[in-house]
Structure 1
């Protein structure tokens, strides 16, 4: 017994004849008749009373009709579910996430929920090295990473760019600029975390400084945490001026004596780390959501 045979049987029953069923199914009448007779032989039942003037269901056909419709409904649901799985609209996606900036990640996940409401997204937060290792082992389907130029064994797909921010003494001339450039800060010592704490970000800043100024930035005391570093910049003011650069995570703080401005360049890029190859359906939905939230 084939799904096609049941579909032809239901069409004949609902249309009241083989000719009208063939029109509905967009096939020739002989094919409908042949498949219904084959179904009758396989079941050992006569499903229709046939005459030159009418085609009517037998008692057996009438009893079988609801069951046939149920089977066809189940087959259609299976097909639709398979199509949704293939399109990435259902299933599960394990995503390693970065913190912040602002509401960008939340907007990404919200848009993904709009595109694929039945896709279950499990967000996991962990250090960048652990996120990348989890993608390599398959524990994560993908991971968001920040400012990472290469990741051995993985492909990095750029999703969006966010601005960097500078913090400097409020009375420094560059504080009057809406978007200071690195050249406006060249004479100030830079508070930058040691490279081993965040190598991709450290390399981004120092490389951009060399490209813009021609040399590495003058080092001040190392960046410790954001609040303490901004407080030190504001407190030292004109006595021992310095500056720092950072990316937004949980909003921009306000610290007395310290001005915070968006840096003209460079921006910081957020990548999606995935295994090499053609992205699967769920990842394609995630990439579509990212494109919509630029």
Structure 2
């Protein structure tokens, strides 16, 4: 008599959330060292967790060579399930967490000093005095989005349409402002004497718009869309300047006008002039991790809505310019 056939494995009975978080970190980074740093664990511990998850699932999740890490077909199949499971766990924990003054501070990226984002943060502090809302300065929504997904900050501001669609899927946003755009000019520039600079007067100019800065590709993309067909060039990458003194030094060295928002802080040796005919608009949203429940996030949302209403930030001028994809996103709300 032939022996009975082997009974198929019933599969894992449960999977620890820690193992799924380890998997998601490696899937996002495709690099074990960076993923370990993101999770604040040793690389050996992360590798053990991945091997354990693979054993429990009976599937190889990553292809590994000395040069690269790639998702296998099973890894790609697990990815959406793992994301939903971790989001559900985060929502569950948030629902049963009672914030107290001693709770972890909410970290809010306001991009750069002197911007209106600081006003939103100040209003939110008034609305939620028991929450500790701490400012951070990440400079660029693309970089800030990665920090949001890694859990290193809790909210940010910027051009949501400029993010990768896969990143946008994991984040929530609330439109806050159509910020008029401007140009920073050296004091001796021929256009510096104008009260406002018509876009067609920039034809033939080369404007710095953050090209090469990995933190702000959404801003460079907006500039390319604005300059297309207008004879305006984008300046090549320049050293990333942090702080007013470094910015002034780099601007004096390279002499290129700089694309900015109208709230860009005044700096000696240069002038800020609004752009007109048409008025280009930089769409600004408040952005946070989808499913994140916290009274500080609620306070930020209320503060952003209040200030937008008081200051007319969401009233789009009739002669305003904005890409169609951005316009659609600015009409939506999470």
TM-score normalised by L of structure 2: 0.48
- Deviation of the 1:124 alpha carbon: 3.8
Which of the residues 183, 193, 217 maps onto 2:232? 217
- Deviation of the 1:101 alpha carbon: 5.0
In the other structure, the counterpart of 2:221 is 203
In the other structure, the counterpart of 1:262 is 274
Q: Tell me, yes or no, if structure 1 residue 135 matches structure 2 residue 156.
A: no
In the other structure, the counterpart of 2:159 is 147
In the other structure, the counterpart of 2:60 is none
RMSD between superposed Cα atoms in Å = 3.5
SS of residue paired to 2:131: strand
Q: Tell me, yes or no, if structure 1 residue 289 matches structure 2 residue 303.
A: yes
Higher Rg: 1
- Deviation of the 1:105 alpha carbon: 3.2
In the other structure, the counterpart of 1:228 is 249
SS of residue paired to 1:119: coil
Distance 1:243 1:109, change over 3 A: closer
Deviations 1:184-203 (A, max 9, x none): 21122323432444211111
Is the Cα–Cα contact under 8 Å of residues 101 and 250 in structure 1 kept in the other structure? no
Is the Cα–Cα contact under 8 Å of residues 192 and 271 in structure 2 kept in the other structure? yes
Alignment of 1:1-294 (within 5 A): 94-102=106-114, 104-126=116-138, 128-129=141-142, 131-140=144-153, 142-149=154-161, 150-151=163-164, 152=167, 153-168=170-185, 170=187, 174-197=191-214, 198-210=216-228, 214-215=229-230, 217-220=232-235, 222-224=237-239, 225=241, 226-232=247-253, 242-247=256-261, 251-255=265-269, 258-264=270-276, 265-277=279-291, 280-294=294-308
2: distance between equivalents of 1:283 and 1:205?
30
Report which structure shows greater RCO (CA 8 Å, sep ≥6): 1
Q: Which structure 2 residue ranges, 5 or more long, are not aligned? A: 1-96, 242-246, 309-334
1: distance between equivalents of 2:136 and 2:271?
34
SS of residue paired to 1:267: strand
- The aligned length equals 196
- Deviation of the 1:135 alpha carbon: 2.7
- Deviation of the 1:250 alpha carbon: 7.3
Is the Cα–Cα contact under 8 Å of residues 206 and 216 in structure 1 kept in the other structure? no
Point out the structure with the larger helix share. 1
Is the Cα–Cα contact under 8 Å of residues 176 and 286 in structure 2 kept in the other structure? yes
Distance 1:139 1:172, change over 3 A: closer
1: distance between equivalents of 2:294 and 2:144?
19
TM-score normalised by L of structure 1: 0.53
Q: Which structure 1 residue ranges, 5 or more long, are not aligned? A: 1-84, 235-241
Distance 1:167 1:133, change over 3 A: closer
Is the Cα–Cα contact under 8 Å of residues 142 and 218 in structure 2 kept in the other structure? no
Greater shift, 267-276 or 200-209, is seen at 267-276
1: distance between equivalents of 2:189 and 2:264?
26
Is the Cα–Cα contact under 8 Å of residues 97 and 143 in structure 1 kept in the other structure? yes
2: distance between equivalents of 1:115 and 1:137?
27
1: distance between equivalents of 2:104 and 2:223?
37
Deviations 1:26-60 (A, max 9, x none): xxxxxxxxxxxxxxxxxxxxxxxxxxxxxxxxxxx
2: distance between equivalents of 1:133 and 1:274?
11
